[in-house]
Chains A and B, each alone.
Chain A
Amino acid sequence: MTPQTATIDDKTVSIHQGETILQCARRASIDIPTLCYQAELSPEGGCRICLVETDRRGRFQAACHTPLQPGMEIRTSSARIDSLRRDILSLYLSAHPAGAFRPSKDGTEIERLMHRLGLESSGFGHTGEIVPADESHPYLRFYRSLCINCRRCLHACDEIQGQFVYGLAGRGSATHLIFGPSQNFADSPCVSCGACVDHCPTGAITDIDRIGARPPDAVVQSTCGYCGVGCQLDIEVSQSRVDRIRGTPLAQVNHGHLCVKGRYAHSYHHSRDRLTTPLLRTESGWQEIAWPEAISWLSRRLLEIRDRFGPQALGAFSSSRSTNEAAYLLQRLFRTRIGTNNVDCCARVCHSSTALALQTVTGTGAATASYADIPLARMIVLAGANATEAHPVVGARIKQAVLSGSSLIVIDPRRIELAEYAGVHLRPKPGTNVPLFNAIAKILVEKNLIDESYIQSRTEGFAELKQFLNALSLAQIAEITGIDREEIFKAASLLAKNGPALFISGLGLSELTQGTASVMTLCNLGMLTGSIGKPGAGMLPLRGQNNVQGNADMGGMPNQVTGYQSLTDPDVRRRLDELWGTAPPREAGLTISEMLDAATNGKIKALWMQGEDVAQSDPNQTHVLEALKALELLVVQEMFFSETARFAHLVLPAAGVFEQEGTFTNGERRIQLVRPAVPPPGEARADWEVIRDVANAMGAHWTHETPSDVMDEIAQVAPNLFGGISYARLEPDGLQWPCPTANHPGTATVHSNGFLRGKGRLVALDYVPSPEHSQGSYPFLLITGRALEHYNVGTMTRRTPNRTLLPADFLEIHSADAAGNNIQDGQMVEVRSRWGSTQAPARVTDRVSPGTLFLTFHFPETHTNVLTSPYVDPQSKCPEYKLTAVAIAPLVNAAT
């Protein structure tokens, strides 16, 4: 067959299937001017600037939405077309006062278009007047006088964020852009992702802090320091300050999209209360000391305590916020210079159950799939994850997938935003995931809705599972979970109809006493439907922190060393011995909660805490504070004087995410570069450098000059996962491990050729109620979690204008419960558990079920974790943040 061709400006072009004239012209480097068109979004077709002359009926056609047909002859420029384009642009300008826009080679897009078309002002006169801008929102400004109603913002909002903030009002020439339910931008459902700002061609929608700002001195690409999605940022820097952040347009992870935290909440970097010098506790209070003094003091104290109490009396909490290089060096320091495996990271208190479950049943304690699988998935199961708030960029992509036709099942006790988009929303009573997943599995098996050949060839344990499921009573499970059998059936048949499925999960599975069992039984569904190891399917847990994946990968766990390697494997030990000069002890160390317990009873004497504010973030806070008080040495590496720092003996000022070099690994196992954009304040230093210097002061001979040197060592230590990783290969989008060799492209879908552990393991696990269930005098079940505007204990976001968007924690309570307890919306409520009590303003809502409460944990004023219990998952030791029995009482004074 001869290729199909057309001509554009006498140039013969081949036609790609479904291509528009504009797409083909751009491919052929023929530049047709546009205004309302945006390549990555659907064409609007309203500006008509891209009119071209064709040999077809109608003659002038808009290039942006007219398909190029074989034999077409297109002319993109002529006196006639140019004059039409000028007249059209004149019409645009005519709706604005003269001088609102001026032709300019480097102005806004409309000004550049004026320059290109040689238009000084409207040929049809000018109307309209300057009206004041809407500055009701802390981050976005809307200036109607510059809005040309081109709708690019609307497409960006609809097709990237899926928030549908914008609309059009009026008809005919009165048609104009509007937002939300009122005249006020701040009232709109905007979630401040900034996509509209990046797409506005006139400056009508701008970042409020950019009004009149100079062009940046430099733009540095780096990785976001908030959640585990790992968005790529373009950091604009002026005079050594972070000026503005935008998404890196072509980045694989986020395609230029960001959220309110990643894009706007960065001013904490330049906060006045940053730590700028090492602080030593003395009898007369905190004393500022120089780094050499701090390092020698610390190395001496560590060695003293080791010599006095033995290596098992020391431990380290490595930070999921810091770099891979820092995490790696800290565990190496403790494992070799001190000689203990008492190293753990905050993954323990979030996804340890997920990692353990996945490792047990698949062979790898990480996501089997990638974010790129979301738009490919025909079926998405979202379990225990409020993605649009906690992982907004992924949340938006899930929403877009559903809007383009994917099916969605949401499993969450709360009616989260994505539940509005779900085919089925199952709302289990908190802590009852295991029976629910078992019930779905039972229906799949009994109705023969399973992938038998997959189960046969790729898994083990099916016979036992089948027998176990057979004995389960669906009626009983309906009773336990509080979900109608019919709903469970509906979910099972939707899953079977549209599977294989992508299972996206969060801490609502992991942070329970049956956390590991929750994830394992979810993996059962993944294997029964033949989902794991296939594109557009698999297990995709959303990681909570920028480098929580990397921290565990680097060996920030007491029972495994870098790359999830066994402490007892002879080959591993031989390799470590060679590379480290000594192999770590064979015995596993203590987890975070065990170290805190051991501190209370005097077995642990010294702890090194890297960037983790356990005094606020860890459960059962009263107990945590006792542990911290009992320590002989607490060293804290921090950006701010945290709640935990109050108990420290030495506080080391840390560089922030924009102030250092290194790598983070996101939730899809992608190792990405972190580049310094601004210098750290005062004497603050990157964590990895400090650890290296302390190690050397303790007698090591570490020669790493740069983080890149550290990564080269990591590649040698764990060659199966990281052997092919080096900084040179991490441009532009990083690499997804496993990446064993220097020419390996990285792995998007793990287990595609069979499970890494051999056979995928199906497990028969029964429901075990939490000790927090059925606490008669504490009738409510409390879930804790994040809100969109803040991040964990708020150390960073509370120091930004996000505080204006959400100034305090809140307690969600169902309207029936509120009425039954005489609680008004906004009223302060006392919340009591068996472990402590706090107060928070009520938000009366039907997002939670009757009997269930939800409380955020972002503000130290609330200290939400005084409420949470000491119970942990028996296998992973992950605490039960997602379920606490509480009682409530309204307080007399209504909150303002």
Chain B
Amino acid sequence: MYGKRRVLEAYRGGDSPLVAIQQFVEIHGLPDPNQVKRLSQEVALPEAEVRGVLSYYSDLNQSSEARICIGTSCVLAGAKDLFAAASKRTPCRSVYCVGFCDRSPAALRSDDRVVAMNGHPSVEPLLELSVPEPARPAIRSVSNQTIVTRRIGRGDFSDLQAARADGAYETLAKVRRMRPEDVLSAMEQSGERGRGGAAFPTGTKWRRCAEVDSDSKYVIANGDEGDPGSFIDRVLMEDDPHCILEGMAICGHAVGAQEGIVYIRSEYPRAIERMKGAVQAAGAAGLLEDFKPSIVPGMGSYVCGEETAMLNAIEGLRGEVRLRPPYPVVEGLFGKPTVVDNVETLVNVPWILERGSAEYAALGTKASPGTKALCLNHGFANPGILEIEFGRSLRDVIQRDAGGAARGHKLEAVLIGGPMGSVALPSQWDVPICYEAMAQRTLKLGHGGLVAVPEGTNIRALFLHWIEFMAEESCGKCVPCRLGSRRALELAQTARVANSLPQLERLFDVMAQGSLCAFGQQMPGPMSQMLRYFGDRVLE
């Protein structure tokens, strides 16, 4: 793999080879063998890798038509029928989540405008000449301290003036006068844990990177919020981009990195535009000093939210996961020490350093300090973003804050944390939302998306949807995930499925125990739960 990035070693915030390949495809369509040879020279990748990249990323091998969201929330709101209907009238393709789960179903038009249908699937808005930009989601905080949504809860702070008037970059200026060591210990003492799903202590990650001696290092903001059901990162990137850049620059100061990359999924065009604008404005104002961030867009792959797959994507390779160790903090982007932090994680950083680690650590629980932004989908009575202090009970969130199911329905279950998260039955809701207590009950918070499963939901369709998702989005590197997902899908699709239950359970076991990364290890979790909780409705 090293050899494949021989020329890219010189990459310094310019366009990723993926962008060059995408531009080629937009102009010429998929290349023929002679064009592959030329393109390979141009992007300095082997011919087979160019073909591999083209066939890997949905955005490269499917044209840039309207994208109908078939994320979990939208599927429950009838997105599959919408897609079928839309396909007959306009060129379109399906994607997993455009980040408007609070108003499902949703679609992304080819002019990058989002249509959020809020319970009323319709092809018409896709065909209209123009549509208005959808409103921002409802954002509430039930925490004593509002951290993550402190700006977005009050409006749009993407403008530099507005952000600065609200204190953006002030902490960075202060931190610049601190010794990196002091920043590292403050982060360690705060106890912040990564919000992307793995909940790794942020300060520890930074310190490991800081300890590696290297002529260059990277800070990457993971804006590839792929978990269907979550949209907090989208809203943060759109409305509080400067806070993300400030968090990155603080990290850069602490670990000794001068280059930053915000990797943003292409399903979030507005976030890309806003982040680019923020980088430009902050850079022009000299606020980032020698820290140089840039934006790299994703190309349509769920697994690229996994940090090592993301590194490959930024380098212009297929978004397959890498073996760990070496961990990215030691050998990351282009082989250099790299911190990869989730967007929400980074938004906490300026607050922590402004108010002090003690104040932060006092929030939430001992092992899960601070607050968490939860995303409530369209199936709840009060959808939107909800910031809570860690420790609040799941039942309170579902029944009080979210107001239970929309339209007075009863809830059969809640899906937490996307397809790698958990299925929580009402009997399991009396659990404080925090990593340690949930882990004890084999519940996974993931990125904090909550999707309501109202009474009467077609559980079999949901199950098939997830397993299809796995078979399509698996990166293909390890065998349990690559072939196990396919066999499981085939089994689940067969008519006499009840007989297949032991086989399915065996496949889920091999995937969970044998897969290389969290995707293959954790995807079977909620599916096994579904089999256990709703067996007869899954395998009818």
Residues of A whose CB lies within 8 Å of any CB of B are 42-43, 45-48, 51, 58-60, 62, 65, 67, 84, 87-88, 91-92, 94-95, 123-125, 127, 149, 158-159, 162, 164-175, 178-182, 187-189, 402-404, 421
Residues A165 and B514 in contact in the complex (CB < 8 Å), given A88-B480, A172-B482, A173-B485:
no
> Which residue of A is nearest B320, CB measured?
A168
Give the shortest distance, in Å, between A694 (CB) and chain B (any CB). Answer: 53
A159 and B40 CA atoms in complex are apart in Å by 19
CB contacts under 8 Å to A, within B1-47, are: 1-4, 6, 33-34, 36-37, 40, 46-47
A67 and B50 CA atoms in complex are apart in Å by 32
A403 and B2 CA atoms in complex are apart in Å by 7
Residues of chain A within 8 A (CB-CB) of B516 are 45-46, 48, 62
Give the shortest distance, in Å, between A79 (CB) and chain B (any CB). Answer: 14
B265 within 8 A of A: no
Of the residues A59, A60, A173, contact of B482 by C-beta under 8 Å: A173
Of the residues A88, A124, A181, contact of B40 by C-beta under 8 Å: A181
Between A and B, 23 residue pairs with Cβ closer than 8 Å are: A45-B516, A47-B478, A48-B479, A48-B480, A48-B515, A60-B514, A67-B325, A84-B514, A94-B483, A127-B490, A149-B482, A164-B47, A164-B48, A168-B320, A169-B55, A169-B56, A170-B55, A170-B56, A170-B476, A172-B476, A173-B471, A173-B482, A174-B476
The answer to whether B485 and A171 have CB atoms under 8 Å apart is no
CB contacts under 8 Å to A, within B450-476, are: 470-476
Interface majority SS on B: helix, strand, loop or mixed?
helix
Residues A168 and B476 in contact in the complex (CB < 8 Å), given A60-B513, A173-B471:
yes
- Determine which residue in B486, B513, B521 has the highest number of CB atoms from chain A within 10 A of its CB, and name it: B513
A367 and B55 CA atoms in complex are apart in Å by 48
A174 and B52 CA atoms in complex are apart in Å by 12
The answer to whether B33 and A92 have CB atoms under 8 Å apart is no
Give the shortest distance, in Å, between B84 (CB) and chain A (any CB). Answer: 22
Give the shortest distance, in Å, between B60 (CB) and chain A (any CB). Answer: 11
Of the residues A91, A187, A402, contact of B479 by C-beta under 8 Å: A91
Residues A171 and B475 in contact in the complex (CB < 8 Å), given A158-B3, A158-B4:
yes
Interface-lining segment among B216-224, B255-263, B383-391, B503-511: B503-511
Given contacts A45-B323, A167-B51, A173-B482, 10 further A-B contacts (CB under 8 A): A48-B480, A149-B482, A164-B47, A164-B48, A167-B52, A168-B56, A168-B476, A171-B473, A181-B36, A181-B47
Residues of B whose CB lies within 8 Å of any CB of A are 1-4, 6, 33-34, 36-37, 40, 46-52, 55-56, 301, 318, 320, 323, 325, 470-480, 482-487, 490, 503, 506-507, 509-510, 513-516, 521
The answer to whether B48 and A188 have CB atoms under 8 Å apart is yes
Residues A172 and B471 in contact in the complex (CB < 8 Å), given A65-B323, A88-B479:
yes
Residues of chain A within 8 A (CB-CB) of B33 are 180-182, 187
The answer to whether B510 and A167 have CB atoms under 8 Å apart is no
Residues of chain A within 8 A (CB-CB) of B320 are 168
- Determine which residue in B2, B46, B506 has the highest number of CB atoms from chain A within 10 A of its CB, and name it: B46
Give the shortest distance, in Å, between A472 (CB) and chain B (any CB). Answer: 33
> Which residue of B is nearest A148, CB measured?
B479
Residues of chain A within 8 A (CB-CB) of B48 are 164-167, 178-181, 188
Residues A94 and B487 in contact in the complex (CB < 8 Å), given A168-B52, A170-B476, A188-B48:
yes
Residues A158 and B1 in contact in the complex (CB < 8 Å), given A171-B474, A181-B40, A403-B6:
yes
Residues of chain B within 8 A (CB-CB) of A92 are 479, 483
The answer to whether B513 and A59 have CB atoms under 8 Å apart is yes
8 smallest CB-CB distances across A and B, nearest first, come from A175-B476, A167-B48, A173-B486, A164-B46, A182-B33, A181-B36, A167-B52, A181-B47
Residues A47 and B37 in contact in the complex (CB < 8 Å), given A67-B325, A164-B46, A164-B48:
no
Residues of chain B within 8 A (CB-CB) of A169 are 51-52, 55-56
> Which residue of A is nearest B517, CB measured?
A45
> Which residue of B is nearest A402, CB measured?
B6
A166 and B515 CA atoms in complex are apart in Å by 24
The answer to whether B47 and A189 have CB atoms under 8 Å apart is yes
A158 and B317 CA atoms in complex are apart in Å by 15
Give the shortest distance, in Å, between B8 (CB) and chain A (any CB). Answer: 12
> Which residue of A is nearest B35, CB measured?
A181
The answer to whether A87 and B510 have CB atoms under 8 Å apart is yes
A174 and B318 CA atoms in complex are apart in Å by 14
Of the residues A165, A171, A175, A182, contact of B36 by C-beta under 8 Å: A182
Residues A46 and B51 in contact in the complex (CB < 8 Å), given A403-B3, A421-B6:
no
Residues of chain B within 8 A (CB-CB) of A87 are 506-507, 509-510, 514
> Which residue of B is nearest A168, CB measured?
B52
Residues of chain B within 8 A (CB-CB) of A187 are 33
Residues of chain B within 8 A (CB-CB) of A65 are 323
Give the shortest distance, in Å, between A184 (CB) and chain B (any CB). Answer: 8
The answer to whether A47 and B6 have CB atoms under 8 Å apart is no
A756 and B46 CA atoms in complex are apart in Å by 46
The answer to whether B474 and A91 have CB atoms under 8 Å apart is no
A299 and B471 CA atoms in complex are apart in Å by 80
- Determine which residue in B1, B475, B479 has the highest number of CB atoms from chain A within 10 A of its CB, and name it: B479
> Which residue of A is nearest B53, CB measured?
A167
Residues A173 and B4 in contact in the complex (CB < 8 Å), given A45-B516, A84-B513, A180-B48:
no
A165 and B50 CA atoms in complex are apart in Å by 11
A402 and B487 CA atoms in complex are apart in Å by 42
Of the residues A88, A403, A404, contact of B510 by C-beta under 8 Å: A88
A171 and B302 CA atoms in complex are apart in Å by 11
- Determine which residue in A48, A84, A178 has the highest number of CB atoms from chain B within 10 A of its CB, and name it: A48
A173 and B46 CA atoms in complex are apart in Å by 23
Of the residues B318, B485, B503, contact of A168 by C-beta under 8 Å: B318
Residues of chain A within 8 A (CB-CB) of B52 are 167-169, 178
Residues A51 and B323 in contact in the complex (CB < 8 Å), given A172-B472, A173-B476:
no
Give the shortest distance, in Å, between B58 (CB) and chain A (any CB). Answer: 8
The answer to whether A171 and B56 have CB atoms under 8 Å apart is yes
> Which residue of B is nearest A167, CB measured?
B48
Of the residues A45, A170, A403, contact of B478 by C-beta under 8 Å: A45
The answer to whether A164 and B479 have CB atoms under 8 Å apart is no
> Which residue of B is nearest A58, CB measured?
B521
> Which residue of A is nearest B469, CB measured?
A172
Residues of chain B within 8 A (CB-CB) of A95 are 483
Of the residues B49, B480, B486, B506, contact of A172 by C-beta under 8 Å: B486
> Which residue of A is nearest B485, CB measured?
A173
Residues of chain B within 8 A (CB-CB) of A404 are 2
A47 and B479 CA atoms in complex are apart in Å by 6
Residues of chain A within 8 A (CB-CB) of B474 are 171-173, 175
> Which residue of B is nearest A169, CB measured?
B55
Of the residues B3, B40, B483, B490, contact of A91 by C-beta under 8 Å: B483
The answer to whether A88 and B301 have CB atoms under 8 Å apart is no
Residues of chain A within 8 A (CB-CB) of B301 are 171
A158 and B3 CA atoms in complex are apart in Å by 7
The answer to whether A162 and B3 have CB atoms under 8 Å apart is yes
The answer to whether A124 and B507 have CB atoms under 8 Å apart is yes
Give the shortest distance, in Å, between B497 (CB) and chain A (any CB). Answer: 14
The answer to whether B3 and A181 have CB atoms under 8 Å apart is no
A124 and B484 CA atoms in complex are apart in Å by 9
Residues of chain A within 8 A (CB-CB) of B507 are 87, 124
- Determine which residue in A58, A59, A149 has the highest number of CB atoms from chain B within 10 A of its CB, and name it: A149
Residues of chain A within 8 A (CB-CB) of B36 are 181-182
- Determine which residue in B56, B318, B476 has the highest number of CB atoms from chain A within 10 A of its CB, and name it: B476
> Which residue of A is nearest B520, CB measured?
A48
Residues of chain B within 8 A (CB-CB) of A168 are 52, 56, 318, 320, 476
Give the shortest distance, in Å, between A498 (CB) and chain B (any CB). Answer: 14
A327 and B204 CA atoms in complex are apart in Å by 68
A125 and B509 CA atoms in complex are apart in Å by 17
A375 and B387 CA atoms in complex are apart in Å by 55
A92 and B37 CA atoms in complex are apart in Å by 32
Residues A124 and B37 in contact in the complex (CB < 8 Å), given A60-B514, A170-B56:
no
Residues of chain A within 8 A (CB-CB) of B47 are 164, 167, 180-181, 188-189
A60 and B1 CA atoms in complex are apart in Å by 26
Residues of chain A within 8 A (CB-CB) of B46 are 164-165, 167, 189
